[in-house]
Structure 1
Amino acid sequence: MRQLCSDLRKIMMPYTAKELNESGSTKIVDYVEFSKQAHVTHLITLTSSISMAALNICRLPNGPTLTFEIQNYCTMKNLRSFFHKELNHQISCDEASYFKDPAICILNNFTSTESHVQLMSLTFQNMFPPVDVKSFKLSHVKRVVLFNYDEEDETIEMRHYGIKKNSDVITPFRANTLKKSASKKLSEVRKKLDRAKEELQALYKKRKDMKQKLGKKADDKLLDKVNKVDDLSDPYVSLEADIALKEKTVLQYSEKETLYKKELDELTHVNQLSNPSSSASSSNVPTMNNFQAESIEVDDMFEANSRTKVKIRLEEVGPRLTLKLRKVVEGVFAGETIYHSVFEDKPEHVKEAERQEREEKKKLKEERRLQQEENVQRKKREKEEKVEKQKSAFLKKFQESLEQDPDLLNDENDLAPADVESDDEQDMEEQDDVPSEIAEGDEEEDEENFQDEE
């Protein structure tokens, strides 16, 4: 499911939270509040349980919320390993350019008039930015998302395709080359067509002779009976099969001839537009009609030279999803159930009773919230009052001690830092005194020793 979540983010790029880190402590309410601040329009969540995996699409800020059952899914990684397409390799190597612009949303078969089908259609459309026809550029479109609705089983197939574009500019030189190739193919097809027509005429003649022989021996009823025989060992039935096959071959060659002839005419037209002097009038006397014709041909020439044919090919990128709508609720992940695929629609009086019950619960919840806020403010006031009482009691006790001993404040002021000698200074003085006494004692002993020696 984590891989599927990452793939869904890639589909919605660049307008998605690509590096959002989910945590177990974060709740849906937190995501909803953050989405409102970030001006997010839709919130997509994935949930899985033992019974089923679900995809929820919520329209912010007021709902509704659509819950889909994920019947089947396939991730981008699985499709890439299965197909080994060149486009998939190109997308994996250059994700920045492919996912720089949003994808185009295409809906198919959402033509039902039922309310839940129309709601799904609007939800899928609004999930992607609209296409502005005036500023639309084909070079900026590299992805397309297709939603196909199956009315029989009420499932939705979602596919994500990459667009591969090949531009084909028809220049005069290339037009001549293509013209030669088309004329060669046309001549080959005409030869095959003529040969097939000759063979078909021979088969027609053979069938005519066989009918004449059968007509001499049997009437039309017998002929109809022979025509209905399915045994190919019968000569007449075998002949009819050969004729049908040859007619099909002639029809195919005729279609190819028409196609090549049309292509040859188009290439001839492009070649004429690129060389307007060759198609101009051979008259040396210029007339107004000639000037108009030349101007039109020149305009057509520029238009033909600027005409570009673009071949578009869709290659599946993934992920694949098969969804089925289970229910629709009115609010943001909660509220009245608008649609449910399993349970039948409830009567109006039951809906009204449930609505009143929800309103009462909501009102009770609001009252509890207000009461809780009042309790918090009350406890805060009580704490402040307690601190004030402690301060006043301390000041009162200090004043009573001053009244009993007025010199207490003066004694405290007399203890200045300059009048108090530190223990370190006393130790220093003692250390200075001790060496001097020792030195005097040593001098007296030296004098006594000197006198004794004398």
Structure 2
Amino acid sequence: MKLKRGKKQRKSGAQNRGNVDAQSQKDALYHQEKFVKKIQKQKFHENKEKELARQPHCLVIHRGDVGKYVKGLESDLRNLVEPNTAKNLKILKRNNIKDFIVNGAVLGVTNMMVLTSSDASLQLRMMRFSQGPTLSFKVKQYSLARHVVNCQKRPVATDKLFKSSPLVVMNGFGDGSKKHLSLVQTFIQNMFPSINVDTIQLGNLKRCLIVSYDEETDEIQMRH
């Protein structure tokens, strides 16, 4: 009986050691998988930051004394170029355009839109850092987003709309004989990140920017 008990004890001891070894292997595999997932997550965030840094970034500011409606237009233009913009950028009177150009280049800013108002008209300048070009437009008419929303029966306005860049649609710029139109088309397209048709998720496309050129009136209309 003692010998049998000894055999059982030796068997149970070997079985316990086997269970401990199996548990140790499971723990090692668990920690290894956890470490691999951590490395993959870090690489994913690094690649995402690099991709974000390569995308165009735009600042929207105003110069001089402007009214509340022009400031409202400035806010709407910032919403237009979101998320690659400084939505809550504060402009001081002592700041000049050179300050934004120098500091913006360090922060990776590639474009800037400047609104200036006078007694005669409202001007919009679109700049490309750091060697241009600069496009100048005279704003004839504009409607603020809040006015459009007030006219809608079922307005849709959520923060999710501005988490991705809009889809840019250009219309009427196909005349190759007018080089300035080709320049405007290329300039506006390069203000927004390019879209990869193979990898884009349609659910992320929440907004659309339509830029149309009217040859009869020689005017450009932007709808967002």
Structure 1 and Structure 2 fold alike (TM over 0.5) = yes
- Of the three residues 76, 92, 100, the one matched with 2:145 is 76
If asked which structure has higher relative contact order (CA below 8 Å, sep 6+), I would say 1
Which consecutive unaligned segments of at least 5 residues does structure 1 have?
161-454
Counterpart residue number, 1:18? 87
| Amino acid paired to 2:165 | P
C-alpha separation in 2, matches of 1:49 and 1:30: 23
Between structure 1 and structure 2, the one with the greater Rg is 1
C-alpha separation in 2, matches of 1:119 and 1:155: 15
| Amino acid paired to 1:55 | L
CA deviation after TM superposition for structure 1 residue 133, in Å: 1.2
Secondary structure at the aligned position of 1:10 is classed as: helix
Larger helix fraction of residues: 1
Secondary structure at the aligned position of 1:73 is classed as: coil
CA deviation after TM superposition for structure 1 residue 82, in Å: 1.8
Counterpart residue number, 1:62? 131
CA deviation after TM superposition for structure 1 residue 134, in Å: 1.6
Deviations 1:334-358 (A, max 9, x none): xxxxxxxxxxxxxxxxxxxxxxxxx
C-alpha separation in 1, matches of 2:143 and 2:197: 33
C-alpha separation in 1, matches of 2:200 and 2:146: 31
CA deviation after TM superposition for structure 1 residue 57, in Å: 0.3
Q: Does 1:139 align with 2:203?
A: yes
C-alpha separation in 1, matches of 2:218 and 2:184: 12
Counterpart residue number, 2:162? 99
Which consecutive unaligned segments of at least 5 residues does structure 2 have?
1-69
Secondary structure at the aligned position of 1:101 is classed as: coil
C-alpha separation in 2, matches of 1:69 and 1:157: 12
C-alpha separation in 2, matches of 1:153 and 1:109: 12
- Of the three residues 161, 164, 173, the one matched with 1:110 is 173
Deviations 1:214-245 (A, max 9, x none): xxxxxxxxxxxxxxxxxxxxxxxxxxxxxxxx
- Of the three residues 19, 32, 46, the one matched with 2:115 is 46
The count of corresponding residues between Structure 1 and Structure 2 is 154
RMSD: 0.9
CA deviation after TM superposition for structure 1 residue 23, in Å: 1.1
Counterpart residue number, 2:3? none
- Of the three residues 178, 191, 194, the one matched with 1:130 is 194
**TM-score of the superposition, structure 1-length normalised?**
0.33
C-alpha separation in 2, matches of 1:118 and 1:82: 35
1:153-232 matches, cutoff 5 A: 153-160=217-224
CA deviation after TM superposition for structure 1 residue 152, in Å: 1.1
Q: Does 1:4 align with 2:4?
A: no
